[in-house]
Structure 1
Amino acid sequence: MQQRAMNLVLTGVTGTALAGMLVAGVAAASEDSAPEKQFLSQQAVAAQEHKTPRKHAAESGYNGAKTAEAGSKAAKAEAKPAKKGPNVLLSGKTTASYFWDDGSGVNGDTGAPAGGKPMQKGLFASPSWPMHTKVKVSYKGRSITGFVGDRGPGEPSHRGVMLDLDTYTFRYLLDGKKPASKYNAGGGEGHLKGVKWEVLSWGKGAGKKGAPRPFGS
């Protein structure tokens, strides 16, 4: 009986020890596998990060730089001082005719221009403005700047024709082309209605400032 009891005790102790050893072994195995699981997890995260399209971030930065550069250029362009054109002292519209006075006697040519400068492209005749007044004329999007170098037109100025343009200016305003000759603008037109004029500076020669007046008035 006593021997049997001791065997039972030893068996119980041995079983308990074996159970403890098994538990410890499982725990040890679990602990040994933990770093491997952790390493695998880190690899998965790294792999997932590697799949991220980083080039988009780079492209975004590149595009952002380009946009900033374009904006900077635009800002500089806007910041540039605008070119100031000449001041317009007086403006209006009139019907214009054409002439070419060079002393040849062609088409009723009365001689050299009254302003003392030879006949040339950009030389206009006014019935009243001071000689050498600087004038810009525009018609259908085309413009030429010239000066008053002669008197005229005569009687037509009493009918509202307040500018006589040189042949070249007249034809250019009409259709952008050149006249058939110095004495004939061509194009089938003798007058241009609605020509815009702008006085840019008054000349120091004889004449009257202000709105154009009919010849002799």
Structure 2
Amino acid sequence: MQQRAINVILTGVTGTALAGMMVAGVAAASDDSAPKKQFLPQQAVAAQEQKSPERLADKGAMGGFTVPKAPAKAEAKADAKAAPKKTAKPVKKGPKALLSGKTKASYFWDDGSGVNGDTGAPAGGKPMQKGLFASPSWPMHTKVKVTYKGRSVTGFVGDRGPGEPSHRGVMLDLDTYTFRYLLDGKKPSSKYNAGTGEGHLNGVKWEVLSWGSGAGKKGKPQPFGS
């Protein structure tokens, strides 16, 4: 009887101890597994970051060294060098006319030979030459451009003339070379004769580009001696 009571007591104590040990083991097991549950997601995140090139590019690091980025300025300079350059050539413009108009023109060549009523050397002091014109009134050495049928010659006033024809509207006397060139683009048969039956050119356009410093009158041409 006494022995049975002791056994019952021992059985209760042993059961209680075993139950306590089981509870402690479960608690210990729960504590040991908690860090693992927290650590595994962090490893997964780190592994994902190492596998993702986008994340590495954002952070600017790979294997301990910095991934360089091409500077925007360098790319812009490279594009500028590759692009073809366009160069615009400046348009050359002649001097602006101070005065312009149209007239009937004749021709002459005065060099003191007496040919064709030659009156001697030109009054402007320069020898007779291609591009030397005679005006009844403009200042000597006035720069003049003459145009006819699309052909042009730029010369200067170096003599007086024509005489009486200027009263009939002939306000320019051109050297034979200029006269023939304006007529048909050719050269005269001789410097004293234009080599054509034409003695006048009607509708020659004249443009005063600059006034000369010699004797004469600026403005529209006036008849000889007026």
Taking structure 2 as the reference length, what is the TM-score of the superposition? 0.64
Separation in 2, partners of 1:21, 1:203: 116
Separation in 2, partners of 1:55, 1:177: 67
Give matches, 1:24-103, under 5 Å: 24-41=35-52, 43-46=53-56, 54=70, 58-63=74-79, 88=98, 90-103=99-112
1:122 — aligned with what? Answer: 131
Aligned residues: 199
Q: 1:62 to 1:93 in 2, by over 3 A?
A: farther
188-197 or 14-23, larger mean C-alpha shift: 188-197
Give matches, 1:150-169, under 5 Å: 151-169=160-178
Identity of aligned residues (%): 42
Q: CA deviation at 1:23?
A: 2.2
2-11 or 139-148, larger mean C-alpha shift: 139-148
Q: CA deviation at 1:215?
A: 2.7
Q: CA deviation at 1:11?
A: 1.6
Q: CA deviation at 1:86?
A: 9.2
Q: CA deviation at 1:170?
A: 2.8
Q: 1:64 to 1:180 in 2, by over 3 A?
A: same
Task: Give the alignment partner of residue 198 of structure 1, picking from 205, 208, 216.
Answer: 208
Separation in 1, partners of 2:71, 2:31: 56
Are 2:224 and 1:215 equivalent residues in the alignment?
Answer: yes
Instruction: Please say if residues 131 and 153 of structure 2, whose CA atoms lie closer than 8 Å, have aligned partners that are also in contact.
Output: no
Task: Give the alignment partner of residue 143 of structure 2, picking from 117, 135, 138.
Answer: 135
Q: 1:45 to 1:31 in 2, by over 3 A?
A: closer
Q: CA deviation at 1:120?
A: 1.4
Deviations 1:22-66 (A, max 9, x none): 22223233344443333334x4334588xxx95986342345689
Q: 1:85 to 1:11 in 2, by over 3 A?
A: same
Are 2:155 and 1:145 equivalent residues in the alignment?
Answer: yes
- Provide the aligned C-alpha RMSD in A: 4.2
Separation in 1, partners of 2:180, 2:105: 11
Separation in 2, partners of 1:194, 1:156: 15
Instruction: Please say if residues 127 and 153 of structure 1, whose CA atoms lie closer than 8 Å, have aligned partners that are also in contact.
Output: yes
The amino acid that maps onto 2:107 is: Y
The amino acid that maps onto 1:38 is: E
The amino acid that maps onto 1:13 is: A
The structure in which a higher percent of residues are helix is 1
Give matches, 1:172-183, under 5 Å: 172-174=181-183, 177-183=186-192
Structure 1 unpaired stretches of 5+: none
Q: 1:141 to 1:58 in 2, by over 3 A?
A: farther
The higher radius of gyration belongs to 2
Separation in 2, partners of 1:209, 1:31: 100
SS in 2 for 1:98: strand
Are 2:186 and 1:170 equivalent residues in the alignment?
Answer: no
Are 2:13 and 1:5 equivalent residues in the alignment?
Answer: no
Taking structure 1 as the reference length, what is the TM-score of the superposition? 0.66
